[in-house]
């Protein structure tokens, strides 16, 4: 009996392996479709904010466990993010010139914002923020949205009151 099994495997093993790989690809593709798609690395010409709610493919960008809570912190070439334990991108951060985190994000910013916009001009353009903080020692304006792919935008400014970071989040 054992010899028959080895002969069968030798003859049919490659077909079985190919079928197993195909089945796995189909299952992964269906899972990606059901969870909002697969996120791939974002280049400076793409829109990482559009990745909110999608599942990050393992190995796309380096990641480490978040320091508090569950999920992972992701560091891509032009953006950083935070994923849920299931790998769904919950927060995306892009950075302007002069930061030490990742390469400058050169794509379009949400709501027509531009790097270097001053606090007063952003306030005039977007209206009164939902909250104002000085989270990192500099002004931070928080705006909440209901009809956008993001639930909130957190706009951080440098010491000269110029836009330097945008955090987009699924959370309201």
- Please give the full DSSP string across the chain, using - where no structure is assigned: -HHHHHHHHHHHHHHHHHHHHHHHHHHHHHHHHHTT-EE-PPPTTS-GGGGTTSEEPTTSS-EEE-SSSSSEEEE-SS-EEEE-TT-BEEEEEEE-TT-SSSPPP-SPPGGG--TT-BHHHHHHHH-S-SEEE-TTSS-EEEEE-SSSSSSEEEEEE-TTSBEEEEEEES--
Residue pLDDT, tens place only, 52-92: 999 987 677 899 999 888 999 999 999 999 999 999 999 99
pTM of the model: 0.70
Residue pLDDT, tens place only, 4-61: 445 544 554 444 333 232 232 222 233 333 333 344 444 333 889 999 999 987 677 8
């Amino acid at each position: 009996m054992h010899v028959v099994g080895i002969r069968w495997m030798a003859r049919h093993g490659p077909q079985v392996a190919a079928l197993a790989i195909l089945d796995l690809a189909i299952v992964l593709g269906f899972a990606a479709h059901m969870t909002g798609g697969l996120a791939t690395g974002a280049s400076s010409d793409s829109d990482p904010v559009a990745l909110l709610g999608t599942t990050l493919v393992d190995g796309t960008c380096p990641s480490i466990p978040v320091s508090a809570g569950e999920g992972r912190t992701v560091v891509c070439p032009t953006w950083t993010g935070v994923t849920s334990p299931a790998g769904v991108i919950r927060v995306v951060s892009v950075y302007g010139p002069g930061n030490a985190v990742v390469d400058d994000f050169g794509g379009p910013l949400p709501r027509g914002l531009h790097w270097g916009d001053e606090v007063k001009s952003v306030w005039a353009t977007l209206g009164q923020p939902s909250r104002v903080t000085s989270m990192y020692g500099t002004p931070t304006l928080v705006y909440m949205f209901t009809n956008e792919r993001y639930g909130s935008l957190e706009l951080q400014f440098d010491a000269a009151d110029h836009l330097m970071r945008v955090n987009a989040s699924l959370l309201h």
